[in-house]
Structure 1
Amino acid sequence: MTRKKIMNDINDNIDPSLFEFAEYDETKSELTGYSNYSFWKSTFQVFMKNKVAVALLILIVSVVLFTAIQPYLPNQKSPTQIYINPETGLQYRNIRPNDPSVSENFIFGTNSIGQDLWARIWSGTRTSLFIGVSVAIFEAIVGITIGALWGYVRKLDAVITEVYNVWDNIPTTVVLIILTYVMKPSISTIIFAMCMTGWLQMARFVRNLILIIRDREYNLASRCLGTPTSRIITKNLLPYLVSVIMLRMALAIPAAIGNEVFLSYIGMGLPIDIPSLGNLINEGRALMMDPNQRYQLFFPAAVISVVTISFYVIGNVFADSADPRNHV
């Protein structure tokens, strides 16, 4: 049986009503494969599967919100006022938390000069968080910008490398100490000192990652088509680095708070009249050996532990969640 006869038999057995001619549709001809994949939606879904990270996110958001609204709540005391016992005329010195023997209600007790620790801790948390977030934002903007140019623009590689080598060989601790010693002690001084060295690690990190993907085919095609360098960096390169950039920013906040605590420990941090977690921990450290006064170290240490651990865990989990390889 010939092939032609077989095809004729098949055509005779096919019901013509099952088929119809499709008309040309110009709009459908332009359509390609469609996917409802969303990067941020998938990242959020993967992140929400980690219960520990979600719990810490709720905790840190609650702490930040309470820190912001705490001064406006009723019956709140001033963090800098020294409270006097009206009966004796003496300061409420080292009053333990919720001590029933005093008429005033001090939730976290008082310090050695009669200041309310509850108000000072939340005021110090506001100060430390402001420092940490400010430094993290500066590191992100400057570090990403310099790192992207350093890794992609070949003409700038030698210049930025020399600047980096010189600046990075100066110990960070020395830079922090010198700047805080020369300049007037203040929040802006602390932020400026940390920003001077904080961007280095972010820039090197971004540069190394961009070197890996700089010469891939789609980037070569973009250059051949005349795409501007700024567009290649923002559209082709940086989106691949979202996860690691967010991780570095999340870790920069507790690192900045830790540096503030260190400067306060060596006596070069913020003035005593500006509450910060570093000042509070430094004050409580001197009383650590006295069992009746350890609360002055415990409360600020607990707050700073919650903040630093939360940002560390959330940053790591978010970085994993933002990796497309973990998306379904």
Structure 2
Amino acid sequence: MSFNGDKINNLGNNISNSLFEFAEFDNNEAEKIGYSNYSYWKSTWNSFTKNKVAFSLLILVIVVLAFTILQPFLPYQKSATEIYINSVTGVQDKNVAPSVEFWFGTNSIGQDLWARIWSGTRTSLLIGFAVGLFEAVVGIFIGALWGYVRQLDILITQIYNVVDNIPTTIILILMTYVLRPSISTIIFALCLTGWLQMARFVRNQIIIIRDREYNLASRCLGTPTKRIIVKNLLPYLVSVIMLRIALAIPTAIGSEVFLTYIGLGLPVSIPSLGNLVNEGRILMMTPTLRYQLIFPSIVISIITIAFYVIGNTFADAADPKNHV
């Protein structure tokens, strides 16, 4: 027994007293216990980039947008509205096939098709982004109030029914007749009804989730309606909202092409993809002139398909259900 007691005493003498000092409580250190470096948008981006097709199309769209903006400032670029005269014959360079001088050829009055396509792409993309932005802002705002604030349900429903029952084509035709044909007129006409589908879609989604437990708890705690909508409801709908916005851009471009096709679009003096397609459509029966329809059709197809694939892929990537 004495041997064991001496051994214990020796061990006690060798132990430092610093090991038994009281630790101070630190709030910051305590919070780090539950810390996670998870980022919703980083996770969404990582999930999106795994789809090689969508990621490649995103790069293609960025390149097209950048080139569309920079094209007029690059060297050796021709004017989109100038009529070119042949220096030898002294007449207009009408319907010249693609060549070194005219990369995409010329149209029926001697204008450079390469310059007109990129100028038209700028015009159509401006219309598409403007209408898409308006649809997103107004549609989400009205749809959120429509779905969450019960007192506004009847009023907004009646407004929706009145506007939605008027054919969109009739509204577009009336606006182009009443107002002078221009880019602003096209944007205004498309925005009049563009927000309807977004508002209805957001409203239906919010009705589904507005009475879930966390929203009921927020209301019981006195959380303002604005904060509940912004913090609790809309983040849950990010994926579907982004999909609708992505699809709104090619839809607006398609509407501009349709209006030009029926003769109510932009004037010929303003290049647009709609004007170019309409001009090429008239010449499509002539084999040597089909390039005037093929080139603008390719640009429209690339933009439409790219936004559709990117929108669907991003919607899947942003869906909280797909995040671990």
TM over 0.5: yes
Instruction: Tell me, yes or no, if structure 1 residue 260 matches structure 2 residue 256.
Output: yes
Instruction: Tell me, yes or no, if structure 1 residue 36 matches structure 2 residue 45.
Output: no
Q: Give the Cα separation in 1 of the matches to 2:224 and 2:277.
A: 51
Q: Give the Cα separation in 2 of the matches to 1:46 and 1:29.
A: 32
2:164 partner letter:
D
Instruction: Tell me, yes or no, if structure 1 residue 23 matches structure 2 residue 23.
Output: yes
**Structure 1 residue corresponding to 2:112, chosen from 110, 116, 134:** 116
| Residue aligning to 2:222 | 226
2:54 partner letter:
A
Write out the 4+ residue segments of structure 1 that deviate beyond 4 Å after TM superposition: 19-22, 28-32
**Structure 2 residue corresponding to 1:156, chosen from 130, 152, 156:** 152
Q: Give the Cα separation in 2 of the matches to 1:227 and 1:66.
A: 47
Measured against aligned partners, the alpha-carbon deviations of 1:12-50 in whole angstroms (never above 9, x if no partner) come to xxx998x96863514145566222211000000000000
2:25 partner letter:
D
Instruction: Tell me, yes or no, if structure 1 residue 144 matches structure 2 residue 140.
Output: yes
Distance 1:30 1:95, change over 3 A: closer
| Residue aligning to 1:302 | 298
Shift of 1:117: 0.1
Q: Give the Cα separation in 1 of the matches to 2:311 and 2:264.
A: 29
Measured against aligned partners, the alpha-carbon deviations of 1:291-324 in whole angstroms (never above 9, x if no partner) come to 1000000000000000010000000000000012
Q: Give the Cα separation in 2 of the matches to 1:152 and 1:36.
A: 33
State the SS of the aligned residue for 2:288: coil
Measured against aligned partners, the alpha-carbon deviations of 1:98-147 in whole angstroms (never above 9, x if no partner) come to 07xxxxx0000000000000000000000000000000000000000000
Q: Give the Cα separation in 1 of the matches to 2:277 and 2:256.
A: 11
Distance 1:297 1:230, change over 3 A: same
Shift of 1:325: 2.1
Superposition pairs for residues 79-94 of structure 1, below 5 Å? 79-94=80-95
1:78 partner letter:
S
State the SS of the aligned residue for 1:111: coil
| Residue aligning to 1:194 | 190
Shift of 1:226: 1.4
Check the 8 A contact 2:93/2:106 in 1, yes or no: yes
Q: Give the Cα separation in 1 of the matches to 2:188 and 2:119.
A: 21
| Residue aligning to 2:56 | 55
Measured against aligned partners, the alpha-carbon deviations of 1:126-183 in whole angstroms (never above 9, x if no partner) come to 0000000000000000000000000010100000001001111111111111111111
2:315 partner letter:
A
Q: Give the Cα separation in 2 of the matches to 1:31 and 1:163.
A: 51
Instruction: Tell me, yes or no, if structure 1 residue 321 matches structure 2 residue 321.
Output: no
Q: Give the Cα separation in 1 of the matches to 2:187 and 2:30.
A: 57
Superposition pairs for residues 166-315 of structure 1, below 5 Å? 166-315=162-311
| Residue aligning to 2:5 | none
1:36 partner letter:
N
Check the 8 A contact 2:61/2:306 in 1, yes or no: yes
How many positions carry a matched residue from both structures?
Answer: 309
Q: Give the Cα separation in 2 of the matches to 1:269 and 1:278.
A: 8
Measured against aligned partners, the alpha-carbon deviations of 1:55-102 in whole angstroms (never above 9, x if no partner) come to 101111111100000000011111011001122111000000007xxx
Q: Give the Cα separation in 2 of the matches to 1:36 and 1:141.
A: 31
Measured against aligned partners, the alpha-carbon deviations of 1:234-257 in whole angstroms (never above 9, x if no partner) come to 111111111111100000000000
| Residue aligning to 1:102 | none
Q: Which runs of 5+ in 1 are unaligned?
A: 1-14, 100-104
| Residue aligning to 2:8 | none
Check the 8 A contact 2:236/2:320 in 1, yes or no: no
Shift of 1:221: 1.4
Q: Which runs of 5+ in 2 are unaligned?
A: 1-10
Q: Percent identity?
A: 70
State the SS of the aligned residue for 1:107: coil
- Aligned Cα RMSD in Å? 1.7
> Please, what TM-score do these two structures have when normalized by structure 1?
0.91
1:300 partner letter:
P
Q: Give the Cα separation in 1 of the matches to 2:107 and 2:30.
A: 76
State the SS of the aligned residue for 2:34: coil
| Residue aligning to 2:97 | 96
Q: Give the Cα separation in 1 of the matches to 2:272 and 2:152.
A: 40
